[in-house]
């Protein structure tokens, strides 16, 4: 009886998004196990992701299915506050600092330390794990190089600039910027695998990599850049983050912040993403950024190219699927379906414009720098 009721409710809900159960459209859901219905009705996005990992359902074009779900706003309609695990997730996010210093290294251990060989087979040669810039680009490699060059141009890099990168990843920006602009570079990360890789990649370059939390940075810099790290800072730490950037940026310096963002302030991140992909992550809103830079920075430029994240994620998924046989023996049985769901659901998220990608240029209050915005 409960199963039958769940099936009726979910079938009716999905119909609002133009999605059928066991239909003929490529974005229709094919159900292989009836436990799918109660899993989704009971836990919504968490249940949708977990039931996919368990093989309860499939979809030829999952990215488009998620896009349709989100544009119909079913995600908002079905938040069930009578579900205890979901309620606890949102309460924890509201009252606890999930991105405290003690927790800072958790995301590195769970996600970024999955193995450099794995990420190498999915990403471009510069190992950019953030949104590419696809204008006039024919492939992922070109799009990521265009992004790197755009960042350098926006920062007006010049020889011997002291540059700090908060969240240096695998050293791709460092390698590109040092070789082309001869900068004096420092990069930090909470991920040991990334730091080890970056040191090898840049071993003959003027680069200094440190395994440390951003709250431990020191020194003064001409330019500060953060590409795809701000999503791990958390709303309870935004004020401290911008204060630290202000303190360590020279008076006439430039700060580029590259981050995923959303139009509406959220209580917490998606529970499935929090549990399986990015523990303690949080996507900021316009309001949260502007509120917390007040008193520290001028906004010189705000560039939104979130529609390119859809292309980037689909390219990552193509590489991941093509190269999976090289890694299959090293990961749990459900890893492929988990990672596929992550990449394709995120592509649908950006296609639905639920998420954006912002590059924000900041100068310190009191700076007399006349900044001219750059667009390639």
pTM attached to this predicted model:
0.91
Count of beta carbons in the 10 Å neighbourhood of residue 25:
15
Q: Quick one: pLDDT at residue 77?
A: 52
Q: Quick one: pLDDT at residue 81?
A: 41
224 forms beta bridges with: 164, 255
Mean pLDDT, the chain, integer? 90
Q: Which of 51-65, 240-254, 274-288 has the lowest mean pLDDT?
A: 274-288
Domain residue extents for the chain:
2-80, 101-364
pLDDT at position 101 over 60: no
pLDDT at position 103 over 70: no
Counting beta carbons within 10 angstroms of the beta carbon of residue 149, is it exposed (0 to 12), middle (13 to 18) or buried (19 or more)?
Answer: middle
Q: Are 17 and 23 in contact (CB under 8 A)?
A: no
pLDDT average, residue stretch 132-143: 97
pLDDT at position 290 over 90: yes
Counting beta carbons within 10 angstroms of the beta carbon of residue 203, is it exposed (0 to 12), middle (13 to 18) or buried (19 or more)?
Answer: exposed
**Is the domain covering 101-364 a CATH 2.40.160.20 domain?**
no
Residue 223, CA distances (Å) to 164, 169, 245, 251, 363 in order = 6, 17, 10, 10, 10
Which are the catalytic amino acids? 346
pLDDT average, residue stretch 223-245: 94
Nearest in space to 70 (alpha carbons), one of 345, 315, 370 = 345
């Amino acid at each position: 009886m409960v199963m039958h009721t769940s099936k009726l409710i979910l079938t009716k809900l999905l119909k609002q998004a133009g999605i059928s159960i066991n239909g003929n459209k490529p974005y229709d859901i094919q159900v292989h196990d009836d436990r799918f219905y109660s899993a989704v009705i009971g836990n919504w996005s968490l249940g949708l992701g977990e039931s996919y990992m368990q093989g309860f359902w499939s979809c030829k074009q999952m990215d488009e299915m998620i896009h349709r779900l989100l544009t119909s706003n079913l995600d908002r309609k079905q938040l069930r506050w009578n579900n205890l695990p979901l309620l606890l997730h949102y309460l924890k996010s509201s009252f606890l600092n999930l991105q405290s210093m003690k927790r800072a290294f958790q995301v590195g251990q769970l996600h970024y330390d999955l193995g450099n060989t794995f990420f190498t087979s999915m990403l471009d040669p510069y190992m950019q794990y953030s949104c590419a810039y696809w204008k006039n680009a024919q492939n992922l490699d070109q799009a990521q190089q265009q992004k790197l060059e755009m960042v350098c141009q926006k920062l007006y890099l010049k020889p011997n600039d002291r540059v700090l990168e908060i969240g240096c990843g695998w050293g791709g920006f460092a390698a590109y910027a040092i070789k082309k602009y001869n900068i004096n570079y420092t990069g930090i990360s909470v991920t040991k695998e990334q730091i080890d890789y970056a040191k090898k990649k840049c071993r003959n370059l003027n680069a200094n990599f440190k395994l440390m939390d951003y709250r431990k940075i020191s020194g003064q810099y001409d330019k500060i850049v953060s590409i795809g790290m701000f999503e791990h800072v958390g709303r309870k730490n935004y004020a401290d983050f911008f204060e630290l950037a202000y303190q360590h940026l020279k008076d006439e310096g430039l700060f580029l912040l590259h981050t995923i963002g959303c139009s509406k302030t959220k209580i917490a991140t998606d529970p499935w993403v929090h549990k399986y992909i990015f523990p303690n992550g949080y996507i900021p809103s316009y309001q949260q950024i502007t509120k917390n830079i007040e008193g520290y920075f001028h906004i010189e430029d705000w560039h939104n190219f979130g529609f390119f994240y859809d292309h980037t994620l689909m390219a990552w998924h193509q590489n991941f699927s093509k190269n999976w046989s090289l890694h299959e023996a090293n990961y749990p049985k459900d890893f492929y379906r988990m990672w596929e769901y992550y990449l394709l659901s995120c592509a649908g998220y950006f296609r639905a414009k639920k998420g954006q990608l912002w590059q924000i240029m900041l100068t310190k209050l009191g700076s007399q720098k006349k900044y001219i915005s750059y667009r390639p």
